[in-house]
Chains A and B, each alone.
Chain A
């Protein structure tokens, strides 16, 4: 059984590597092939053709696309993400610094949203069909579709400007303690929380409702077990298994939301790095940032699969 688990994880890893390779092609195509003439796109339509050619040669963007891709991947594999056009220095340190900051914000978001949404989903399911249920379902679902910058603005107006209970800036002064830093991250994390809350709580609720009505739950009930024990032992574990996969899938929304929230709150994370690179047509930085985000998503999906594999005895035989 252990061998089967390892085999399944290995298979999942190979698939992820394939996805990653394809992803690099997509990013490369988007970053270097689609713009056509990189030099021209940087210097603008009025620049002298010779200057464009010189710049293209300097950047190495006059080579055939396939060769450029091979070079790019070769560098990536050695940990070299290229040179930023804008800063004229290696990309990697920027990415690493920004990634750290973004992970802090993402971590804060998940720390709030996971207990909150699962709790709300379970609460709704236990009141299936009553007002508590409708409140969580409709309320959560409505919040899910409000763009982060809209809810962000409204939250800042209410908590930062009107009530003045939370700092409106994500950035702390130098030398602030961890607690202080965390306090500054609350307001930026809230828009992301709102977007994720509706979806996760809905899945948690659905899983809970299914498990509550399942035959095995009735079996446990008819054994005469106390209700608390039926729910903890028999319902929750089966109900929350699908939720894990969904949380991993939502990482994609979370990472996308980072771009918006970090811009809104002027927070130097990977999202605002990508946006700055996009505005400045800094292709190496843009590609590296996007590839990092894609990798993070793929890793979270693998993590969820492994977690489900460990918690669900059925998945060990036939993991995808």
Chain B
């Protein structure tokens, strides 16, 4: 790429000009944004520590990091729009050659009005709820002194591909779907034809197919207009697809910077290398062995940091990492802030084969923090025995070939005609319509679908928390269970448990971990006294929690440890079935892998069956033996995991797989109801007069069932390879 050559030298040159205040010289460089040694603090808590990077004209630059690493702060500081309490403590920012710190209030406003735009995470909050969409978009034109602001606004809504712009103009934000709201925000951002567009997690919270559409739009528009883009996200692969170059933030420091392809294929910083390696790739299954993990946890903002911020979690760290700040090691256009960067080369594949590296997130007896205690390079043997790493490759309880087991096992849980209708203000709303499926002992059924697909309602019905419509039943070992929790026997309640999505909500913050684990043991397993105490300790050991954590309250634990407590609680009563409702989606990527390993290990040991709900196909792929796909309350496909993902599969499944791979199927947009087939309105293969009139047949008993009128040979296929590359 053309800019790569100059990338090495440019930041240093800029810092020089900053120090001399000769900002007018900067105009000669064609950079849209320069951050030079930028440090930001909230009160006394430092958030960013000396971050430097630049975004060339027309370039798309990605900033990646886990939660709390300072991504959003960087975005707001770049526009000089930090919220109350935030201030720049060092370094500077320049946009299109102008030093932001030197701008007057009116100069800054002119810059905001003409040169920069920002789109942030939650579009429903970025739009004023009491003004119409038209008024808000027109405002962005009016401030430029455009005469026909309203007409231009309407045209712009068309440009961002909102159907029927005139109607959207008159609507209030809450009347639009999340995806359309984000398009409105993008329309406002593009009104001024900005030199720099900052996107802060623009698609987090949107469904995969909607996300693909938004990203497509952004990509097309920025290429067409030559806009520079700063894209901020926690999703490394999404950023890699969109951007030319990437910067990786960790704990407020930029640890690596380089061309997108280099960062993913040949990371030079240990953190990036591990982060890339611990992502499920859509190929790997639990039978193939444990996932890579990163020891320890993210440092809390304001915590004392060693010289190298990653040293406490790094398996390559040596004494020098604690005492001397690592220098920026440049090689071509590729920077890594690591003492060992020149000698470091880590192909992700090579890392994955190293069994000692697969450590649980709270590795070591030092407890959850193990900060400061640098894990020595050869410490693999000193780690507590790791379930995942010790797992023989062919030891999956269900056997290696999931096509066989689909019919081999005995169903432990069956849903028969399970449906749920809620009374809505505009008539009854069907949340789930007549589901039939079986869950086999010791297996995982992955449940995939976007928001509104009825996944959570289904989970609540299986648990007895929500009573299904009359006629629907949940069978345990072939016997019908009560519709409500109150109608179920103790044995039945004990048999079906759940791991909730968010451990903060699922664990009672007033109680200590010991009590959280002891109550279900006492109630469901009937233990008392010493036996209870020992059972609690054993249960905690099973999920690698120590005695120290038992005495703590959830608040004192990190996200990963909290989820371990929630998992232990679900397993307290020796359940037959555990429903996992997006158990890793509230966690950081570096913690997710350890939880997935733990779930796989527990399943093997306890022979429990999972219903694993997730929107992340790669995660589902890792754990699931079979996959069911839901859309608008209906099951559109169920079958062995490989077959469902590779196809021939339902057109909607094809759209999901494509979205996960960053490709967008034609005409797949937001859910629209209408027609007998729920996917009719969005289906590229629809047959008018058939699909919208006749409900497609569905043989729930088949090994692989697809609810579609198309013949098997005509169904779309995805060639079998990684989902995400």
A–B: direct contact at CB < 8 Å: yes
Interface residues of B in 115-166 (CB under 8 A from A): 116-118, 120, 122, 125-131, 139-140, 143
Give the residue name and chain of the B residue nearest to A216 (CB). B128
Q: Is the CB of A223 within 8 A of B122?
A: no
The one of B81, B116, B118, B174 that contacts A314, using a Cβ cutoff of 8 Å: B174
Interface of A: prevailing SS: helix
The one of B120, B125, B139 that contacts A223, using a Cβ cutoff of 8 Å: B139
**Is the CB of A312 closer than 8 A to any CB of chain B?**
yes
Given the known interface contacts A215-B120, A314-B174, the answer about A221 and B81 at a Cβ–Cβ threshold of 8 Å is yes
Q: Is the CB of A219 within 8 A of B172?
A: no
Number of residues of chain B lying within 8 A (CB) of chain A: 31
How far in angstroms is the closest Cβ of chain A from B229?
16
**Is the CB of A178 closer than 8 A to any CB of chain B?**
no
**Is the CB of B330 closer than 8 A to any CB of chain A?**
no
Question: How many angstroms between the C-alpha atoms of A312 and B128 in the bound complex?
Answer: 11
How far in angstroms is the closest Cβ of chain A from B188?
7
Interface residues of B in 176-211 (CB under 8 A from A): 185, 188, 192
Interface residues of B in 652-708 (CB under 8 A from A): none
Q: Is the CB of A220 within 8 A of B139?
A: yes
The one of A214, A215, A222, A238 that contacts B79, using a Cβ cutoff of 8 Å: A222
How far in angstroms is the closest Cβ of chain A from B79?
7
The one of B125, B139, B192 that contacts A215, using a Cβ cutoff of 8 Å: B125
Q: Is the CB of B129 within 8 A of A218?
A: no
Residues of A near B113 (CB, < 8 A) are: 223-225
Given the known interface contacts A218-B81, A313-B172, A318-B425, the answer about A224 and B114 at a Cβ–Cβ threshold of 8 Å is yes
**Is the CB of A317 closer than 8 A to any CB of chain B?**
yes
> Which of A224, A234, A312, A314 counts the most B-chain CB atoms under 10 A from its CB?
A224
Given the known interface contacts A218-B81, A224-B143, A225-B139, the answer about A311 and B130 at a Cβ–Cβ threshold of 8 Å is yes
Question: How many angstroms between the C-alpha atoms of A220 and B191 in the bound complex?
Answer: 13
**Is the CB of B110 closer than 8 A to any CB of chain A?**
yes
Q: Is the CB of A224 within 8 A of B127?
A: no
Q: Is the CB of A223 within 8 A of B112?
A: yes
Q: Is the CB of A219 within 8 A of B188?
A: yes
Give the residue name and chain of the B residue nearest to A4 (CB). B425
Give the residue name and chain of the B residue nearest to A219 (CB). B126
Residues of B near A234 (CB, < 8 A) are: 128, 131
Question: How many angstroms between the C-alpha atoms of A196 and B33 in the bound complex?
Answer: 51
Question: How many angstroms between the C-alpha atoms of A58 and B495 in the bound complex?
Answer: 72
A302-320 Cβ-contact flags toward B at 8 Å (1 or 0): 0000000001111001100
How far in angstroms is the closest Cβ of chain B from A51?
61
Give the residue name and chain of the B residue nearest to A235 (CB). B128
Residues of A near B131 (CB, < 8 A) are: 233-234
Question: How many angstroms between the C-alpha atoms of A221 and B111 in the bound complex?
Answer: 11
Give the residue name and chain of the A residue nearest to B175 (CB). A313
Residues of A near B143 (CB, < 8 A) are: 223-225
Question: How many angstroms between the C-alpha atoms of A311 and B109 in the bound complex?
Answer: 30
Question: How many angstroms between the C-alpha atoms of A222 and B111 in the bound complex?
Answer: 9
Give the residue name and chain of the A residue nearest to B172 (CB). A313
Question: How many angstroms between the C-alpha atoms of A200 and B140 in the bound complex?
Answer: 34
**Is the CB of B83 closer than 8 A to any CB of chain A?**
yes
**Is the CB of A226 closer than 8 A to any CB of chain B?**
yes
Can you give 13 A-B contacts (C-beta < 8 A)? A215-B126, A216-B126, A219-B126, A219-B185, A222-B117, A224-B111, A224-B113, A225-B139, A238-B130, A311-B130, A313-B174, A314-B172, A317-B425
Given contacts A222-B118, A233-B139, 20 further A-B contacts (CB under 8 A): A128-B84, A129-B84, A215-B125, A219-B118, A219-B127, A219-B128, A220-B139, A222-B112, A222-B116, A222-B117, A223-B112, A223-B139, A223-B188, A224-B113, A224-B114, A234-B128, A241-B130, A311-B130, A312-B130, A314-B174
